[in-house]
Structure 1
Amino acid sequence: MKKAGMTAWRVLVVLLVSLLAFGMLLHYGRSTQTFSRLGSQGTEVTKIQTKLKQMGLYSGKTDGIYGSSTKKSVVTFQKQQGITADGIAGKQTLQALGISGGSSAMATGGQGKYSNNDIKLLATIVSAEARGEPYEGQVAVASVILNRVEHPSFPNTLAGVIYQPGAFSCLTDGGVNAAVSDSAYKAVRDAINGWDPSGGAIYYYNPVKSTSKWIFSRPVITVIGKHRFCS
């Protein structure tokens, strides 16, 4: 009886150790598998879609949902870059796209590379330029400004883009002096975190108010509220 009891105890110990090891493997797999792939959702996916759209490789919505069209565009990009074309946005693919880290890298004191003063400045412009627009339109205006910072045709700082002569009428017509709405701050943070309803646009205008013939020649990506967003 004593020997049988010892044997049963050893079997139980082995079973418990096996279950613990299996649980650790599951946890490790879940915690390290952070690459965006078919079925993924979030700000990293939005960044991927935005980058691919800017390259002319993706024509769908920048909705943060990694669907079949996003995967197809990633595969095309991977083939161009000589990366294994598996449709998964792994580390090498993200680096080639110019996307660093995961979406969590954007959530500190200011936000990412933007200070609290930057956020305040951007919110002031968004509030003035998109007053009365739907929330998505406010995010889109913020996104256009951020897209310009990353675009080679514009200054590479937020202040440089905002204060570029003639860039924003609210700086000259007094609109910038109005109180900044709470929604503008939220819109700015959403834009910084990767949501771009503008689809990668670098221009926007209200066709009722605009007097520039040139802006009407720009290809329209999307229309939100009273604004047309263009490339």
Structure 2
Amino acid sequence: MKVDGVVGPKTKLKLWQATKHWRPEMTPKAKVLKVGSRGGDVYDLQGRLKFLGFYTGPVDGAYGNRTYLAVRLFQYRFGMKVDGVAGPATLEKLRAATRNYRPPSQSAPQSRTASLPRSSYGLKQSDIDLLARCVYAEGRGEPYVGQVAIAAVVLNRLESDKFPDTIPGIIFQPLAFEAVADGQIWMTPNETARKAVRDALAGWDPSGGALFYFNPERATSKWIWSRPQIKRIGKHIFTR
């Protein structure tokens, strides 16, 4: 960035993106919450799990069996190690999936509803619809986890300063997506594609933070083959 010591809009945005998971209560000591734990951290954990619909018990700050089962369900749903222990990785993933959560003292009680994704990332419904079109056009026929990964790649680009800062800008960037070039982007997405978008907006990223993906059976670009590969899902290889 321009080095001038002035905290302007661009610097503020970059700082926010780099520290989006920071909270004032964070300390250098990693937190591990498990059965028997009590206090405000457990209260926050229960509130966030309840916000997503994984926890149905009382938000009382006591890590009991119902909280344990809710944590296991969350870990399973987000492809994590399932042990019922809310360690640093689980807590970070949970915070990422509940960006819009506010404690009951700050707002009215909230639950996971169909309207939740509309405020994720500050996206408009038209942006979400376009993202679903992209997922359907690019990933229909792929396993569900691969469709979520495609949506996650677009969202990863949205957070990167190397790409446009809007969903339409990313999707319609020249040569970015084959489905745009051949017109398939205008196909009507099915419910599976829409659900994949909702899961990606909730924080699930099966791509492992990828910014690109390609079909190795069709890719001829030497550049895309030179990208550091993360994993393969279905017919696509996801890369940095």
- Contact 2:72-2:83 within 8 A present in 1 as well: no
Q: Calculate the TM-score normalised by the size of structure 2.
A: 0.58
Gaps of 5+ in 1: 1-25, 47-61, 75-86
Amino acid at match of 2:220: T
1:213-228 equivalences in 2 (<5 Å):
213-228=222-237
Conserved? CA contact 1:134–1:225, under 8 Å:
yes
Report the CA distance between 1:179 and its aligned residue: 2.9
Paired position in structure 2 for 1:208: 217
- How far apart in 1 are the matches of 2:165 and 2:112? 18
* Structure 2, unpaired ranges of 5+: 1-36, 49-62, 103-109
Q: Supply the RMSD in Å over aligned alpha carbons.
A: 4.0
- Please tell me whether residue 129 in structure 1 is matched to residue 145 in structure 2: no
1:153-194 C-alpha deviation (Å, 9 max, x unpaired): 111211111111111111111222333222111100111011
C-alpha distance in 2 between matches for 1:201 and 1:34:
28
Deviation at 1:105, TM superposition (A): 8.9
- Are the structure 2 counterparts of residues 188 and 88 from structure 1 closer, same or farther at C-alpha, using a change threshold of 3 Å? closer
Deviation at 1:63? 2.2
- Residues 222, 67 of structure 1: CA spacing in aligned structure 2 closer, same or farther, 3 A cutoff? farther
Question: Larger % of helix: which?
Answer: 1
Q: Which residue of 2 aligns with 1:154?
A: 163
Structure having the higher Rg? 1
TM-score where L is the length of structure 1: 0.60
* Maintained 8 Å contact 1:198/1:221: yes
Higher relative contact order (CA 8 A, sep 6+): 1
Give percent identity, aligned residues only.
Answer: 40
Q: CA deviation at 1:225?
A: 0.4
Aligned residues: 171
- Cα shift at 1:27: 10
CA distance in structure 1 between the aligned counterparts of 2:186 and 2:229, rounded to whole angstroms: 30
Task: Write the distance in 2 (CA, Å) between the matches of 1:88 and 1:223.
Answer: 24
